[in-house]
Structure 1
Amino acid sequence: MKALVLNCTLKPSPAPSNTEALAYEMIKEMERMGVRTKMIRVADHHIITGIKSDLGEGDEWPAILDELLSSEILIIATPTWMGTMSSMALKVLERINGLYPKRDSQNRPVTFNRVAGFVVTGAEDGARHVVTEIAGALMDVGFTIAPQSYTYWNNGPGPGDKYLESDYRKDWSVQTAKAAANNVVAVARALRQTPIPGSA
Structure 2
Amino acid sequence: MTIRAIALNCTLKAQGESSTDAMIGVLERAFARVDVTLTETIRIAAHNVKPGVTSDEGEGDDWPAIRAKILAHDILILAGPIWMGQIGSVAKRVLERMDAFLSETDDQGRMPSYGKVAVMAIVGNEDGAHASSAQGFQALNDTGWTIPPVAACYWVGEAMGTVDFKDLPETPEKVQKTAAMTATNAAHLARLLKDAPIPGAD
Give runs of ≥4 in structure 1 deviating > 4 Å.
none
CA distance in 1, matches of 2:59, 2:200: 34
Matches for 1:3-42 after TM superposition, within 5 Å:
3-13=5-15, 15-37=16-38, 38-42=40-44
Which stretch of structure 1 is more off in the superposition, 150-159 or 180-189?
150-159
- Give 1:170's match in structure 2, choosing from 164, 172, 183: 172
1:124 is aligned to: 126
Supply the distance in 2 between the matched residues of 1:34 and 1:171 (Cα, whole angstroms).
21
Deviations 1:67-101 (A, max 9, x none): 11111111100100110111100000000111111
Q: Indicate how the Cα distance of structure 1 residues 169 and 128 shifts in structure 2: closer, same or farther if over 3 A, else same.
A: farther
Q: Deviations over 1:110-162 (max 9, x none)?
A: 11111110100001121011001000001011111100111111113332311
Distance 2:177 2:162 in 1: 22
Partner of 1:91: 93
Determine if contact 2:48/2:62 at 8 Å carries over to the other structure: yes
Q: 2:68 is matched with which residue?
A: 66
Say whether the 8 Å CA contact 2:24–2:121 is kept in structure 1: yes
Q: Is the 8 A contact 2:34 2:183 kept in 1?
A: no
Distance 1:168-1:82 versus aligned 2 partners, 3 A rule = farther
Distance in 2 (alpha carbons) for counterparts of 1:158 and 1:44: 27
- Alignment partner of 1:22: what SS? helix
What residue is the counterpart of 1:193 in the other structure? 195
- Counterpart secondary structure, 1:173: helix
Give the number of aligned pairs. 199
Q: What one-letter code is carried by the residue in structure 1 that aligns with 2:144?
A: G
TM-score, with length taken from structure 2: 0.93
For 1:123 and 1:27, the matched residues in 2 are separated by 22
SS at match of 2:149: strand
Counterpart Cα distance in 2 of 1:72 and 1:106? 20
**146, 149, 160: which one aligns with 1:147:** 149
TM-score, normalisation: structure 1: 0.94
Provide structure 1 residue ranges, at least 5 long, that are not aligned to the other structure: none
Structure 2 residue runs without a partner (length 5+) = none
2:115 match: 113
Give the residue type in structure 1 aligned to 2:35. G
Shift of residue 193 of structure 1?
A: 1.7
Q: Are the equivalent residues in 1 in contact too, given 2:101–2:144 (CA < 8 A)?
A: no
Q: Quick one: distance in 1 between partners of 2:34 and 2:166?
A: 26
**Shift in Å at residue 4 of structure 1?**
1.3
> What letter corresponds to residue 65 of structure 1 in structure 2?
R
Deviation of the 1:197 alpha carbon: 0.4
